[in-house]
A and B are shown apart, each in its own frame.
Chain A
Amino acid sequence: MKEKFETLDEVEIIQLAKDGDEKAFEFIVKKYQNRVANLIFKIIGDASIVEDLTQEVFLRMIESLKEYRFGSALYTWIYRITVNICIDEIRRRKRLRAYSLSDVLSQNPKAEPSHSHVEKTVEQREMREIIEEAISKLPPEYKTALILREFEDLPYDEIAKILKTRIGTVKSRIFRARKLLAEHLKEYKDLLK
């Protein structure tokens, strides 16, 4: 079965999936599941929910397969669904957090004594955690644009297609994300040297 689909081009596979071909759909899932999962992992930053959301991406993909136009690449379309699901999830989490005071307090870095030092010497593992935390604090629109650029290595025009926005907007979101990160990482003097 694998060989059959590997000789077909993407348009033909999507057409088969559109017609309800289960094997074609399975091929698409297997081809993209890890890319989708990692994109979700990077945007949400929580591994425990990645598989559920990956599943949701592909189920939403089937639902909207009828609306798929062959003008854009399949991954652009799958990534758009992924980003939308991630942004929904971030909003859902924000709402939940707003209702839980203890949660809010534990999210506040000032409440944690380990963050109260201004200058730090940073080890490798700690460094990753600090940067991941700084990324997690970015506004969702900035974060998704930055991750599509830095993790997926996508050019601005592809990112604009995924986010359904203008290239100029993508440009400024990525720039602002970097400025905010630089601002946030200033307290760790060694990091930006």
Chain B
Amino acid sequence: MRHAKIQKLVSEYIDGELKNNIELIERHIKTCDECKQLVKVHYLVNETLKENTIEVSPYLSTRIQAIFKEQKSQQNLWDYIIGFSRELVIALILIFLVLTSIRLISKETSVKIDEAILNEMPSVQKVISTGGDLTKDDVLELTLSNGEKK
């Protein structure tokens, strides 16, 4: 196998992920400068990364805990507000429905009353039946009949 194909396997070999061809890779590394460099890079990176580590301040977990608690209480408040508004909306819808139905019923009644009044008045019936096209005689007759009603 040539270097171009082997170098990928060298990286796997370094990481202990290679299952086959281990001896072949080891032999190649000994004779190939570029693959030697890959191994060297691995050692350098590994050493460098592990050399310089940090530790968080002891207050960090307290700070995170405080934010967690605050978020939790805010969440509870929101849950309460959302729950409350949901109930409020349902109540408003119910009130609206009741009011609308009351209005419809009363409107129907008033229409019926209006019709009843109109039917009682011959003058109006006459106007309706002629389509508003009244002769002088009609007007006179209507005036008289209305007077009679009164």
- Residues of A whose CB lies within 8 Å of any CB of B are 20, 22, 25-26, 29-30, 33-34, 37-38, 41-42, 47, 50-51, 54-55, 58-59, 62, 127-128, 131-132, 135, 146-147, 149-151, 155-156, 171-172, 174-175, 178-179, 181-182, 185, 191-193
Contact = CB atoms under 8 A, between A and B. Distances in A.
Interface stretch (B23-31, B61-69, B117-125, B139-147): B61-69
B71 interface: yes
A151 B49 contact: yes
8 contacts: A22-B72, A37-B55, A54-B56, A55-B60, A150-B42, A151-B49, A155-B17, A171-B8
Interface residues of B, number: 36
A47 B54 CA distance: 8
Contact of A175 (B7, B49, B69): B7
A156 B56 contact: no
A33 B72 contact: no
Q: Classify the interface of chain A: helix, strand, loop or mixed.
A: helix
Interface of B: 7-8, 11-12, 14-15, 17, 34, 37-38, 40-42, 44-46, 48-57, 60-61, 63-65, 67-69, 71-72
Nearest to B69: A22
B61 A33 contact: yes
A178 B38 contact: yes
A155 B15 CA distance: 8
Contacts of A132: 48, 52
Nearest to B75: A20
Given A38-B54, A51-B57, 9 more contacts: A25-B68, A41-B53, A54-B56, A55-B64, A55-B67, A132-B52, A150-B49, A179-B38, A192-B40
Contact of A171 (B11, B46, B57): B11
Contacts of A54: 56, 60
Contacts of B46: 150-151
Contacts of B69: 22
B49 A50 contact: no
Contact of B60 (A33, A174, A191): A33
B73 to A, nearest CB: 11
A65 to B, nearest CB: 11
Given A33-B56, A146-B45, A150-B45, A182 B15 contact: no
